[in-house]
Amino acid sequence: MSSARSAQSVADEFGFVLPDHVPGFVDAAACRHAAASHKFDHLCPATEEPLYRVIECDAGVVDRAVTAARKAFDGGAWSRLSVAARKPVLRRMIDAIDRHRDELAAIQSLEVGLPLSGVQGMHMQRTIDNFDFFIEVADTLGGHSYTQTGRYTSLVTREPVGVVALLSPWNAPLVLSSMKLAAALALGNSCVIKASEYSPWSLYRFVEILHEADIPPGLVNLVNGRGTVTGKALVEHPGVDVIGFVGGTATGREIIRSSAEGIRKVGLELGGKSANIVFDSANLEAAVDGSLIAILTGNGEQCLAGSRLLVQDGVADAFIETFIDRMRRVKIGDPFAAETELGPMAFAGHRQRVLDYAAIAQAEGAELLCGGRACDGFERGYFIEPTAFLVEDNRARVCQEEIFGPFVTIQRFSTPEEALALANESEFGLVSYVWSEHLPTVMHVSRELKAGTVWVNTPLARDLRAPFGGYKQSGLGRDGLHASVDLMTEEKTVMLPNEPLVLPKLGVSD
């Protein structure tokens, strides 16, 4: 029987103390509020040992957090600073994150089960890159003017919106929350982050570390708890001006309803069920490599996973044989072992959800190619085998519903038009993958796919300048250069006459 490293041994190696409780962080201080607050245990996904207790922030604490953010914004200690004055503080934030990057990576791996190598190699660097990028955006952002009327000069400038509520997902809390946080801060806003109840420690420690940069009190606040309690109180709070959310589509709908009541700006990155299309003209070795990365990175718990694999008939047999053989040999285990390629699911309920979909697939008549069950050989932990099903009908639930794990459906197709029909027959449209060395195929398919991002002969690439977001039920708005600026600022027009005006004199008698 195998076992993962204990939380205490990880803490000893990386030099941090395991917390008894994870509270909120409001107005530059830990928010250890009333003992009557709801609390619940979080278990380490790799060992099932108690890791900490979450102290849920109720509506009263949420109000304190929003009030602190509003005071910070209205007071102007940050919002009215010039970009030149904000830059050194943002740089100090980056330095603080960098000093603690190994600690933060270890905490996130302990908390949600991601292999440490991936968190260190991608998540932490992207978190730093997010801040770096938006420093440069703010530094180069300018207004514009119009003089076409001849009589007036219209000056268009941008101002920060105010208080930004950021609701973070549990699967990659640091990298996904920091994208919106960095944009909000660089452009002059103050923030309240709502951490997922499954990953509050990562963000609590992150917010603590940001305060090492001597930021104004109330600029960045954190509240913890369930979406139905803490999240609801935050998105409905009248002091919130902007809502940024990364998570499930059902929750996104509720946020849209709430934002409509208060006429708030929203940016929503929601679910995905992304088609990964392999054509006869593909480089098969690259397509196998990329398709495994697309479904297994982040333990498969990511909205942009290539969870619907569509393979053209001419290469289907060879591709599927190689892909399944590789999938069976993926190294599953302790997130802190260097050789581990797939860690545990983040929590018990989610592992059961993924396993339930394996039963649903078999009930629908799909052919199990590998996996579909919990891993043998582990004393504890929420480990499952990478799972693949060959499916005939694209209307099957496992082809239409987001599973959010190392679980892929495989379908064959004959023509590009058939592949497009299968790919677009989905309520989601976040990303798609195309594998082909034939340029006309690539151009045609990329144009016709209903997805916010199309990756051609590559998995999971990102240019922070380019917009990222989804069609249909996959979201509302985008992250990226122009979209993030639009979300986190308000445009103001000031019209100036070019010469003194002769105005009509109303109410003057002859």
CB 408 within 8 A of CB 319: no
Q: How far apart are CA 393 and CA 322, in angstroms?
A: 23
Which amino acids are annotated catalytic? 269, 303
The DSSP secondary structure of 184-235, one letter per residue, reads: HHHTT-EEEEEE-TTSHHHHHHHHHHHGGG-PPTTSEEEEES-IIIIIHHHH
In angstroms, the first-to-last Cα distance of the chain is 102
What are the structure tokens assigned to 338, written together? Answer: 């260097």
The helix-helix angle for 284-296 and 313-328 (nearest 10°) equals 50
Token pair 């109180």: residue: 233
What contacts 109, CB < 8 A, 6 or more positions away? 10, 115, 116, 119, 335, 336, 343
CB 40 within 8 A of CB 56: yes
What contacts 232, CB < 8 A, 6 or more positions away? 254, 258
Token pair 């892909």: residue: 323
Helices (H), ranges, 227-302: 232-235, 249-262, 284-296
